[in-house]
Amino acid sequence: MEESEKLQGLAVENGGTLLLNGNVGHIIEVSPGFTDFSTALFVGSGSVLRGNATTGRVSIGRGSHLSPGDPDNNAIGQFIIKSNLGFNEGAFYDVDIAADGRSDYVRSQGGAYIDKNVKVLVNTLDPHTSYRDGQTYRILTAGGGVNGMFSEAVLDSAFLDTELTRDHQNVDLTIRQKETGGGGDDGHSGGGDDGHTGGGDDGHTGGGDDGHSGGGDDGHSGGGDDGHSGGGDDGHSGGGDDGHSGGGDDGDSGGKPDAPGIFQTVATSDNQWNTAGGAELAGAAGAVARAIQRAADAERGRGAGCV
C-alpha cells in the first residue's frame, strides 16, 4: 500500500465490530468516546475489535471488547501491538481456548495497563473434547511490563474453574476441574464435617446422636434396609448404588470430582475421557441386555402356566 493510500481515519458506530487482518500502523482506539488523533478510530460503547493484526497503540474502552481471532470460524487469533495496550475500567478481553493448549494471545511491545473491573471472558472452542486439568494458557505478554491485573476470568462451564496469574511481563490463564461433591470438605460426599458422608458430628453418617448414623431404631443408622445406614440399597449408607454413601455411582461419595461422566469436559489423565465414555456406554448396553433377558424369562413363565 502506498503512503497516500494508508488509512487516515476509521469510525465504528455503537454496537459495531471492527475486524482487522494484516498490519495497521496507526493508533487503534476502542472506546465509547473519540480520539483526538489524525488517524482517529471511533468505536461506540459495546463494540468489538477482532482479528489477527499488527497495530499501533490500542486502548479498549468501557464496555468494549478486545477479541483476537475470527469467531465465525472458531479461529484462534493474535494481536501484536507495537506500542502500549490499555484496558480502561469496565473493558473486556475475550479469550478462546482450545483443548490442545492453544489460545488467543496479545503481545504488546510496550506496557500493558489494566484498570479496575476488567474481565477476561473465556470461551472453549472444543466443548465436546476433554480439557486437561491444570492446563495453562499464556494470554498476554507486555515487553514494557504488566501494570494492574484483570479482575476475574469468567467461563460458563459446569466442569471447569479458571485462575489468573501474572508476573512482571505475562498473564496466564489456568483451567482446573471444579470441586464438586455436595458439601463434603474433601469432596468425597455431602455434608459431613470431614466430607465422608452427610450430617454426622464426625462426618461419617447423617444425624445419629453419636454421629455414626441418623435415625435408626438402634441408633446405628437411619432408613437402611438392615438398619446400618440411611437409604443405601444394602443399608450401608445413603443413596449410593451399592449403599456405601450418598450419590456416587458406586456409592462411595456424592458427586466426587474424580468420577467423570460421558459429557464431562475435563480430564485428569490421557485416557480418562475415553475410559469414562466407554464404561458408561458399556453399562447402558448391559442394562438393556438384562431387561431383554427379564422380559424373555417372564414370557416363558407365562407360556408354562398355560400348559
At residue 300, what are phi and psi to the nearest 5 degrees? -65, -35
Q: Convert the pLDDT of each residue in 26-45 to its tens digit.
A: 445 444 433 333 343 444 56
**What is the tens place of the pLDDT at every residue in 192-214?**
444 444 444 444 444 444 544 44
Query: What are the backbone dihedrals phi and psi of residue 73, each rounded to the nearest 5 degrees, phi first?
Result: -110, 10
Please indicate, yes or no, if residue 292 is contained in any of the structural domains: no
Burial class (CB in 10 A: 0-12, 13-18, 19+), 140: buried
Tell me if 94 is assigned to some domain.
yes
113 forms beta bridges with 86, 147
Does a structural domain hold residue 165? yes
pLDDT value, residue 250: 46
Q: Which helix (H) or strand (E) holds 66?
A: strand 65-68
The total of structural domains in the chain comes to: 1
Q: What is the pLDDT along the chain (307 residues), one digit of tens a residue?
A: 344 334 444 555 555 556 555 555 544 544 443 333 334 344 456 778 888 877 778 888 888 899 998 777 778 999 888 889 999 999 999 999 999 999 999 999 999 999 999 999 999 998 788 899 999 999 999 999 999 999 999 998 888 899 999 999 999 999 999 886 554 455 444 444 444 444 444 444 444 445 444 444 444 444 444 444 444 444 444 444 444 444 444 444 444 344 333 333 555 555 554 444 444 444 555 666 677 777 777 777 666 555 5
3-state secondary structure of 194: coil
Q: What is the DSSP letter of 51?
A: E
DSSP 159: S
307/303 Cα distance (integer angstroms): 7
122 grid coordinates: 473465556
- 92-97 and 131-132: which strand pairing? unpaired
CA distances from 96 to 22, 104, 215, 286 (A): 20, 5, 51, 39
Q: Does the residue 285 lie in any domain?
A: no
At 95 the pLDDT is 97
Return the amino acid letter for 129: T
Distance CA 209, CA 204 (A): 12
In a domain, 294, yes or no: no
In a domain, 109, yes or no: yes
DSSP 73: G
* Distance separating alpha carbons of residues 118 and 30, to the nearest angstrom: 14
> What is the spatial distance between Cα 191 and Cα 198, in angstroms, rounded to a whole number?
4
pLDDT at residue number 105: 98
φ, ψ (nearest 5 deg) of residue 154: -110, 125
Q: Does residue 171 lie in a domain region?
A: yes
User: CA-CA distance, 285 to 289, in Å (whole number)?
Assistant: 6
How many H-runs (helices) and E-runs (strands) does the chain carry?
1, 20
Residues near 136 by Cβ (< 8 Å), separated by ≥ 6? 172, 173, 174
- For 193-208, letters b (16+ CB in 10 Å) and e give eebbbbbbeebbbbbb
In a domain, 92, yes or no: yes
The residue among 104, 22, 47 whose CA lies nearest residue 71 is 104
Q: For residues 208, 214, 220 and 225, what is the CA-based torsion angle, rounded to 10 degrees?
A: 180
Q: Is 302 helix (H, G, I), strand (E, B) or coil?
A: helix
What is the pLDDT at residue 157?
86
DSSP-based three-state secondary structure for 53? strand
Q: Which domain holds residue 132?
A: 8-177
Angle at 51 between CA 123 and CA 47, to 5 degrees: 75
